[in-house]
Amino acid sequence: MALKSTIFKADLQIADMDRGYYGTHALTIARHPSETDERMMVRILAFALHADPALAFGKGLSSDDEPDLWQKDLTGAIDLWMEVGQPDERRILKACGRAGRVVVYSYSSASAIWWNQIAGKLERAKNLDVFNLPAETCQALAGLAKRGMQLQCTIQDGEAWISSDEGSVQIQPVAWKMTGGGR
């Protein structure tokens, strides 16, 4: 019998002073059996950093055709495609051909090795942004994970603070590749 996804619910309050976005989102996150709390929380962080009423979680690990998060316009065209982790360069380039903008959030201690291996192959991708999140920070972020979460995220000057009853974590994404689209 196949293992089923575990459902997490998060009430996420966002105050993004960099973009002038303020909102509350009731998120339902299906965590794939092979997904860690760390990866799931990085997906929530990515949502907070790009929050928009049209932003949605994709099927992620259970689908090759969908990203971790995406935003489509009213015609169904993909405006934003977001990946979490260390996706294959072919997957990234395919996404760059399908979406107006692609953003990757890498977060493990092996991220620098991954990026050094594929950075040259992605130079021609003009709609790609790649950010690295410090591994220790993401491990601390995983400590906030609960089946029912009340999260507050404040974003200012490129830094994010996520807090809950479990504690608070400061995150400073490091841009490895920027196309000018900003965060």
- CA atoms of 42 and 86, how far apart (whole Å): 13
List the structure tokens of 128: 């790609």
Q: Is the dihedral of CA 29, 34, 36, 41 positive or negative?
A: negative
Q: Measuring CA to CA, which residue among 85, 10, 74, 102 is closest to residue 48? A: 10
Q: Tell me if 183 is assigned to some domain.
A: no
For residue 50, the enclosing domain spans 6-177
The count of structural domains within the chain is 1
Report the helix count and the strand count for the chain, using DSSP H and E: 4, 11
Q: How far is CA 31 from the centre of its chain?
A: 14
Is 182 domain-assigned? no
CATH of residue 140: 3.10.640.10
Q: Provide φ and ψ at 137, rounded to 5°.
A: -65, -40
| For residue 1, pLDDT beyond 60 | no
Mean pLDDT of the chain: 92
Is residue 11 a part of any domain in this protein?
A: yes
- What number is the average pLDDT over the span 164-168? 93
In a domain, 86, yes or no: yes
**Separation of alpha carbons 6 and 89, rounded Å:** 29
- Under a CB-based contact definition with an 8 Å cutoff, are residues 51 and 25 in contact? yes
Note whether 81 and 95 are within 8 A (CB).
yes
Assess if residue 1 is contained within a domain. Answer: no
**44 falls within a domain:** yes
Q: What is the mean pLDDT of residues 72-78?
A: 95
Q: What pLDDT shows up at residue 2? A: 62
Residue 67 belongs to a domain: yes
Q: What is the pLDDT of residues 88-144, one digit of tens each?
A: 999 999 999 999 999 999 999 999 999 999 999 999 999 999 999 999 999 999 999
pTM of model > 0.85: yes
In one-letter notation, the amino acid at residue 15 is: A
Q: Would you say residue 26 has pLDDT above 70?
A: yes
Residue in 12, 11, 33 with CA at minimum distance from that of residue 21: 12
